[in-house]
Amino acid sequence: MIYPVGMQGQIAWKRNLSGWWRFVAAFVVLALGASCAAQRAAREAPSFAPGARVVLDAHNCYPYAGKYKERIDRALATGFPVSIEIDLAWRKDAERSRSVVSHETATRGDEPGLDEYFFERVRPLVEKALAEGDSSKWPILYLHFDFKSNEREHLTYVAGILAKYREWLTSSVRVKDESKVQPLLRKPILAITETNEMQKRIFHDEIAVGERFYVFGSAPGEDYVPKDVPRERQWAIMSSAPPATMLATPAGNYRRWWNNSWAVVEEGGPARAGEWTAADAARLKALVGHAHALGYLIRFYTLNGYAEGQGEGWGASYNFGSLAAARVRWRAASEAGVDFIASDQYEELRESLRQYSVAAKGVVSR
C-alpha cells in the first residue's frame, strides 16, 4: 500500500479510507440481506415453478383400443404430484354433440366425458386437499389436454366443463400484455394444453382483461426444422439445433410450458437411440436449462423401455428396447430437472423417481 506524503494528506487519506470501509461494510450487509432474501424466496417458491419438481406424466391415461380402463386408477395410485394426459375428441350427434375421452377422432359413442372420467373420479382427492388447505403441495394433479380436433364448439364445450370445477383449478389473471407474467392462484389441479391458436383464443384471449383464466398453453417453438427435407435430416436437425434456435420467446402469462419429443435429445428418438453418452446428458441439460431460463416448465415424451413383444400395445417409436435403457434416461431427466417425464410405465417410473430422490438426499435404505 502507498501512503500519501504530508500530515494533511495522511489525515485526508485516513478519512477517505474510513469512508470507503463504511461503504464496503454497508455493501456487504446489503449483499448478505439480498442473499438471504433470495434464499428465502427460493424456499418459498411455488412447487410448480420451472425446475422445482420432477413429475410423472401418465401418458395416454385413458381407455382406448379396448384396453387401459384401469390407467387412471394406476396413475393416481402412484402418488402425487402426477400429471394425467387425456385426449379429447368431438363427438357429433344429431341430438347432442359433446367432447369425449378418445384416442381417435372417429368415435363410437360409448366413450366417457371429461367430467365423469376425470373430474368426478378425482373429486374425493381434491376435496380432501381443499379441506386440508396445504397449498404448498398444490397442484397435486396436472390435467394435460391433447385435443384431437380444435373446433370452436369443442373447445367451448370443454371450457364450460372447466367452469363447473373452477374452484379446483389453478388460475391466473388475464392482462392485456401477455408478456407480463402474473402470479398463479394455486389450487389442487393445474390444467395445461398445447400450442393450438384456437385453444389460446377460447381459453385465454376471449377472457376479459382482469378476469381469471384456468388453462395454460405450451410454447409453439420456433420453425427451425425444414419440412421439405428427408425425415432422417429432420431428426439430425432436431437433435443438434441450439436451444435458442428451437425456442427464443420467453414464457408469457398463458404459454408456460414447452413440450418436446425425445428426438430433440437423441437423434431419431427412443427407437433409434444407442448407448447413453455424456454428450446426450449435456444436450438434455442444455435444453432444460434453456427452458427454465425462459420461464418454462419442460416436458419430454415418451420414455418407455421393454423387450420386443412385451409391451402393452404401446407405440414402438417410444421404446428404448429395455427397462434398463429407459431407467438410464429417467435418471438423467430427473437429474437435469425435467418437469414432466412422460411414460406408459407408470409404476416403474414412479419407483425410479423415488429411488433417485432418496439417493440425491443421501438417505440410505436399511
Q: What is the pLDDT of residues 66-106, one digit of tens each?
A: 889 999 999 999 999 999 999 999 999 888 899 999 999 99
User: Which ranges of 110-230 would DSSP assign to H, the alpha helix?
Assistant: 114, 120-132, 152-164, 197-200
- In the chain, which residue ranges form alpha helices assigned H by DSSP? 7-44, 71-77, 114, 120-132, 152-164, 197-200, 231-238, 243-246, 278-293, 323-336, 346-360
Report the distance separating Cα 115 and Cα 119, nearest Å: 5
Which of 276, 240, 152 has the alpha carbon at shortest distance from 203?
Answer: 152
> How far is Cα 158 from Cα 113, in angstroms, rounded to an integer?
10
User: Do 266 and 328 meet the contact criterion of CB atoms below 8 Å apart?
Assistant: no
Residue 41 has pLDDT above 60, yes or no: no
Q: What is the pLDDT of residues 11-31, one digit of tens each?
A: 444 444 444 444 334 433 333
Mean pLDDT within 156-160: 98
Amino acid at 208: A
The reported pLDDT for the residue numbered 47 is 63
For 345-357, how does the pLDDT look when each residue is reduced to its tens digit (9 = 90+)? 999 999 999 999 8
Residue 40 has pLDDT above 50, yes or no: no
Tens of pLDDT along 276-307?
999 999 999 999 999 999 999 999 999 999 99
pLDDT value of position 312: 81
- Measured CA to CA, the distance from residue 71 to residue 110 in angstroms comes to 18
Report helix, strand or coil for 349.
helix
Q: Is 168 helix (H, G, I), strand (E, B) or coil?
A: helix
- Residue 362: the pLDDT is 66
**What integer pLDDT is reported at residue 35 of this predicted model?**
38
* pLDDT tens-digit series, residues 95-145: 889 999 999 999 999 999 999 999 999 999 999 999 999 999 999 999 999
Spans of all domains in the chain: 81-218, 222-358
Predicted confidence (pLDDT) at residue 157 exceeds the cutoff of 80: yes
Higher pLDDT: 28 or 170? It is: 170
Packing angle of the helix pair 323-336, 278-293 (nearest 10 deg): 40
Segment 221-267, tens digit of pLDDT? 778 999 999 999 999 999 999 999 999 999 999 999 999 999 999 99
Distant-in-sequence, close-in-space partners of 191: CB < 8 Å, separation ≥ 6: 142, 143, 145, 162, 169, 170, 214, 215, 216
Decide if 204 contacts 181 (C-beta within 8 A). no
- Look up residue 316 and give its DSSP letter: G
